[in-house]
Structure 1
Amino acid sequence: MLKVIRYSSLALLAVVAGLWAWAWVSRAPGESVGEAFAQRLAGVFGQQLPVPAAGGGAGGMQLPPGISLGGAFSLVNQDGVAVTERDFAGRWMLVYFGFTYCPDVCPTELGTIAAALDTLGPAGEQVVPVLVSVDPQRDTPAQLKDYVSRFHPRLQGLTGTPEQVAEAARRYRVYYARAQRPDQSDYTMDHSSFIYLVGPDGRVRSMFRPDTSPDAIAAAVTGQLRSGSRGSS
C-alpha cells in the first residue's frame, strides 16, 4: 500500500513538472509562466472536474474530495484598516489574487467580476468582491484604493506584509512569484489566475478558470445563493 502511495505521488509530481515545462515553452507572447501554468493545469484537470450542482451550470469547478481552500487570514484593506476573515463572516465573496501593476489578466478578471455582479442585480449585494494583492511591496493601501475604485464601488483591496500575503495565498493554494524580464526595467509578478467563490463560512465553494464569462459566474453564484438559502430555511 505504501508503495502505491509513493508511486502515485511520484506520478503526480511528474505530471505537474511536465505541465510546468509545457507552460514555459508554449506560453503566448506577454503571458507569464504562472498564467500559462494555470491555464494548462485547468485544461488537464479542471475540465474533468464536475461542476457543482448548486453552481447553476458552466464555469464553476468543484474542488476534489478532501481539498479545502480558504479560511483564516490577517491583512489590511485599502483604507489601512486591519481585517481578518471574521470581518467577512456571513457574507459571500468573489476573491481574486492579483496586483495593481498587472498589465492584462488582472484587469480582465476584475472586470469580469464587476460584470458578473452587475448581471446578478440586487442579488449581487450579497456578494463582496475582493482583490488580494500578491505584490505587497508596491501595493500599499493608497495604491489599492485608487486601483479598486476603477472596477467596482464595492471592490475591497487587501494587502499586508509579505508574510501575511504568503499565508493567505497558501490557504487558497495560489501560486505567485516575482519575475524580472530582460526587456523590462521593473519587475512583474507571475501568478495563478482563478476567481474563488467563498461561502459565508470562509471556505471556497467553487473556482472559475481564467476567461470564464460573467454570465457563467453569475449563474454559478445564483445557484450557490439559492442553495444556501434553502439550507438555512
Structure 2
Amino acid sequence: MSALKLIRYGAWAAVAALAIAAGVIVSLQMTSNDNGGSLIEPLSAIGGPFELTNGNGEVVTDKDMTGKPSIYLFGFTFCPDVCPTTLSEMQGWIMSLGEDAGKLNYAFVSVDPERDTPDVMRDYVAAFDERIVPLTGSRDQVDAMLKAYRVYSKKVPLDDGGYTMDHSAAVYLMDADNRFVGTIAYGEAEESALKKLKRLIEKAPASS
C-alpha cells in the first residue's frame, strides 16, 4: 500500500469519526428539543470569529454571517470529487427550498488559499449557484478559521510534484448567531439533508 493511500485512509477515518460524533450529538439533542427549544444546544468548542475575502475581494467576517443560519462547506477548487459533488448537492438543496432558500447563508471556504485566489474561487462557485459565497484569504487567516471550526485539512504531495488536499467533507450547520449546531455528512440522502435545513430555518429567530 502506498504512503499516499495510508495518508488518505487515516484522513478519512478522522473525518468519519467527526461526522459520526456530530451525528450522534445532533440526533440526541434534536430529539430532546422537540418541545420548541433551540435546534440543538450550541457546541461552543466549534466556531468563532474569522476574517476572509469573498470572490470580489471584499472582506467578510463572522459578523456578516449572523442574523440568519449559515451552512459552510470547506474544500478547494482543485478537489476532484468531494467538493464539486457537495456543491452540486447544495445547489439542489437551494432549489428544493424555494423561497425559503433566502433564509440561509451559504459559503464555500477554501482550505487551499495558495491556489484559491478570490477570482479563482468566484469563477469556480459561479458554476453552481451565485448565492454560495466563496471565501478565501491568507494562509494564516484560513488556518485560524479551520482551527476555530475544528476542520481537518492536510496537504498531500503527489508523485508528479504537485499536491492535493485532504479535508473534512461534512457541511457545517450554524445558527443565526453563527454557533455550531450540527452537520450534513458527505453523501447524506437529500431528504435527510433538507429536513435538517428546514429545521434550521424553523428554529431561527423570526427576524432572520
User: TM-score if structure 1 supplies the norm length?
Assistant: 0.75
Larger radius of gyration: 1
Cα deviations across residues 159-181 of structure 1 (Å, max 9, x unaligned)?
00111001101111001011102
Aligned to 1:191: 167
**2:92 aligned residue:** 115
Summarize the alignment of residues 1-233 of structure 1 with structure 2, pairs less than 5 Å apart. Answer: 25=6, 33-43=10-20, 45-46=21-22, 48-51=24-27, 52-53=30-31, 67-182=44-159, 184-229=160-205
- C-alpha contact 2:50 2:141 (8 A) present in aligned 1: yes
In structure 2, the partner of 1:7 is: none
Gap change, CA 1:32 and 1:116, over 3 Å in 2? farther
Which residue identity does 2:181 align to in structure 1? Answer: R
Measured in 2, the distance between the counterparts of 1:42 and 1:92 equals 20
Greater displacement, 185-194 / 221-230 = 221-230
Q: Structure 1: how far apart are the matches of 2:32 and 2:197? A: 8
Aligned-pair Cα RMSD in Å: 2.6
Please report how far the alpha carbon of residue 86 of structure 1 lies from its aligned counterpart in structure 2 after TM superposition.
Answer: 1.3
Separation in structure 1 between the aligned mates of residue 148 and residue 119 of structure 2, nearest angstrom: 25
Aligned length: 197
Q: Shift of the alpha carbon at 1:213?
A: 2.3
Contact 1:113 1:214 in 2 (8 A): no
CA-to-partner distance for each residue in 1:30-53, whole Å, 9 max, x for gaps? x6642343125535x456435124
Structure 1 counterpart of 2:143, one-letter code: A
Find the residue that maps to 2:123 and give its secondary structure.
Answer: helix
Hey, what's the Cα distance between the residues in 2 that align with 1:55 and 1:132? 30
User: What TM-score comes out, normalization by structure 2 length?
Assistant: 0.84
Share of identical aligned residues, percent?
A: 31
Q: List gaps (5 residues or longer) in structure 1.
A: 1-23
